[in-house]
Amino acid sequence: MMNLKVKNKTLFLCLPALLNMPFFGLSAFGANTEKGNDKGNGPKRPNILVLLTDDQTFSTIHAWGNGTIQTPNMDRLVSRGISFTQTHVMGGFNGAISQPSRAMLLTGRGLMDIHRNGGVIPENERTFPELFRENGYTTFATGKWHSDNASFTRSFSTGANLFFGGMHPYGKYNELGHRCPYLHQYDPAGKYNNTNGKWVDASLNTFSSELYADAAIRFLEAKASDDTPFLMYVAFTSPHDPRNVLPHYGHKYASTEVPMPENFVAQHPFDNGDLNERDEKLLSTPRISAQVLTERANYYGMVSEVDFQIGRILDVLESSGKVDNTIIVFTSDNGLCVGEHGLLGKQNLYEAAVRVPLVICGPGIPQNAMCDAYCYLYDIYPTLCELADIEVPPTVKGLSLAQTIQNPMVKKREDILLAYINLQRAIKKDNFKLILYNVGGQRHPQLFDLEADPMEMNNLYDDPNYSKKRDELTALLYARMKAVGDFCDPAKPDWGYPVKLKWNQVIQVNP
């Protein structure tokens, strides 16, 4: 066993087991110099496979140090690529963080730059699938799309088993959820609505992740003899609740086997402004330990189910003969608290909610590498462009990780700004993190030393030994808010907004 030290956590990788896993083969990621793409002479353009999960926090990969969870296929990716262990989603302006997060990923733009909180992607902000389509790629989608139909239609030339919306419904299908999703098939005219899709028959005893993997596999099989480069966007809706995973995975982890996070408390110590959000009502408050452990066991089961479906896709990619020329990106739209700090959602700026896994594999990319450079989810867009030799559009504000992939000491970002509605703002730098709250005139400041306290349990804000760091980060936070055009103004009382803004109010002040 090899002990890999990343700044604020220790990662234990069982290297012999990982390296012996069936996957792409050691030669798979060598440089490909085959000639003859649609742009003329030159290296063949790499295929792109994006695997995006829903609500998967960074700590749910076995190869990243979680000794309880079983994720053999995510581990395969870790062993064959580079892991960015400090990847963040910038935040959101309503409780459905996945909407702005996916819009940021797709457009390469920050939270203050996207349109209508990500609900609409305008034509002048090309998504990366749209850009790759313009550059001769066949672009395929399956799974979740959380923005407008028009931007989807511009982005993809084909697709199957498409889910438009935020999450699988409760209500009429409360007991079924992922087992009977409402799906559309690809329509080149982009006419997707609530009447022309189809409910999956629950008696088939299938699951959303399986349906998306099936669609991806059919696409790969159809592309086996086609040399046109492709971009696949596989957007799972799991492990987002409802947690009605199939019995095999629902019973995979006993609640007595899944550890409670060290920072579990029965109730968050103060009002963070959104304790009445839907996610926080999934269990009673104060939290009951047994219920939280059951929730965590089901969450782990859903992660393992997604992992299995990812493995099916990877196996077919390998057998298709195209793996040697495919860049694979595995990540999630946002993290999730499942008991951490007494919370159950992602409507906060703690590490469990804002950090996501990110693994990049492909031709010329180092294998089994770890990098703790700060980055955002929306840095993926320019990274893919640089790796595929496609010019980055001027609308993109993300920073390419291509240089960092080859040299993890190259760090493009010194700090990370985080934001949630008008209620919370945070800044991270040098493994310190400052969080400020604006709830009924109360700021509830928190300062954490993430290297010594990765679980964010020891608030140093009022410790005189850290007054210099506190003041430094406060000034930096205000400067970053101003630099990105944050609609909240720290110079004004209550940042200019004494009460929580509703979604339609946010998009008026931050269109």
* Block residue for tokens 């940042």: 495
Is a pLDDT exceeding 70 seen at residue 170? no
CA–CA gap between residue 143 and residue 54 (Å, rounded): 11
Question: Could you tell me the CA-to-CA distances from 479 to 220, 364, 472, 482, 510 in Å, in that order?
Answer: 47, 38, 11, 5, 18
pTM assigned to the model: 0.92
- The length of the chain is 511
Is a pLDDT exceeding 60 seen at residue 14? no
Region 288-307: mean pLDDT is 97
Which residue has better confidence, 256 or 327?
327
Is a pLDDT exceeding 70 seen at residue 35? no
Region 149-176: mean pLDDT is 81
Region 286-311: mean pLDDT is 97
Identical fold for domains 43-413 and 418-509, yes or no, is: no
Classify 418-509 by CATH class: alpha beta
Region 291-311: mean pLDDT is 97
Question: Could you tell me the CA-to-CA distances from 221 to 34, 48, 267, 320 in Å, in that order?
Answer: 21, 15, 50, 7
Q: DSSP assignment of 15-42, as one string? A: HHHHHTSSSS-TTTTS------BTTBSS
Q: Taking CA 83 as the corner, what is the angle to CA 82 and CA 85, rounded to the nearest 5 degrees? A: 150
Tens of pLDDT, residue by residue over 270-282, are: 999 999 999 999 9
* pLDDT value, residue 81: 98
- How does residue 175 score in pLDDT terms, banded at 50, 70 and 90? low
Domain 43-413 has CATH 3.40.720.10: yes
To 10 degrees, the CA torsion angle through 310, 311, 316, 322? 80
- How does residue 42 score in pLDDT terms, banded at 50, 70 and 90? low
Mean pLDDT of the chain: 90
CA–CA gap between residue 155 and residue 140 (Å, rounded): 9
Which of 24-33, 132-141, 352-361 has the least mean pLDDT? 24-33
| For the chain, domain boundaries | 43-413, 418-509
Region 393-416: mean pLDDT is 97
Q: Which residues of 262-293 are buried (b: 16+ CB within 10 A; e: fewer)?
A: ebbeeebeeebbbbebebbeebeeebeeeebb
